[in-house]
Chain A
């Protein structure tokens, strides 16, 4: 069966520090991969999605970047975190033509 792993679960970082969140999917090949951010009391905002290795689409201009160095690995990064980067970050995957997303357990990022 397919599983998605996302870590760390919580992270507290100072303003201006770098960020690296990792997400991996097991049990499937060539998944579509997504990074979402969820601000408190709000819905999910799509940040990036990827349909293959090295293929990244950005939905909103921001301080973050994403990379997909391997088929089932998706990384969210920042060179210098801002206070506004705080939030709950969710990785998700699906297959082409699938009708639902599978989410990881999320990372709560606090930038202080």
Chain B
């Protein structure tokens, strides 16, 4: 079964706006990762946040983690058309191994120029 569930399933915004995607999960985690997938391509790792962290930044990306609510959010600021992609959260509940990394179904982000 899916551990992470992204919300919304699809998001359409205008260039320059901010995009927020959410991820909820069910069991305790060691870390949560966000990946990006352009249509028909492989996934690319964006950012990882550990269970003892609450917020992390990388360029235009901001990730938050609320372990009490078992949820995370990914914020992309000042979006660009090139940010159009699917975004997946993945949770690690196994103690630091990617063997049991569980992916959600993803949020399809469309940034309109």
Contacts and interface: CB of A to CB of B under 8 A. Distances in A.
B107 to A, nearest CB: 11
Contact of A44 (B48, B88, B99): B88
Given A41-B105, A44-B88, A100-B33, A49 B99 contact: yes
Contacts of B25: none
B98 interface: yes
Contacts of B99: 32, 46, 49, 57
A102 B42 CA distance: 9
Contacts, number: 54
Nearest to B4: A43
Q: Main SS of chain A's interface residues?
A: strand
B16 interface: no
A60 interface: no
Interface of B: 2, 4, 31, 33, 35, 40-45, 48, 88, 96, 98-99, 101-106
A49 B96 CA distance: 15
A102 B106 CA distance: 18
A104 B33 CA distance: 18
Contacts of A88: 40
28 contacts: A32-B98, A32-B99, A43-B102, A43-B103, A43-B105, A44-B103, A46-B99, A49-B99, A90-B42, A90-B43, A92-B42, A92-B43, A94-B98, A97-B96, A98-B98, A99-B31, A99-B33, A99-B48, A99-B96, A100-B33, A101-B35, A101-B45, A101-B101, A102-B45, A104-B42, A105-B41, A106-B41, A106-B42
A6 to B, nearest CB: 8
Q: Which of A42, A43, A99, A106 has the most CB of B within 10 A?
A: A43
Nearest to B105: A43
Contacts of B48: 99-100
Nearest to A44: B103
Contacts of B106: 43
A103 interface: yes
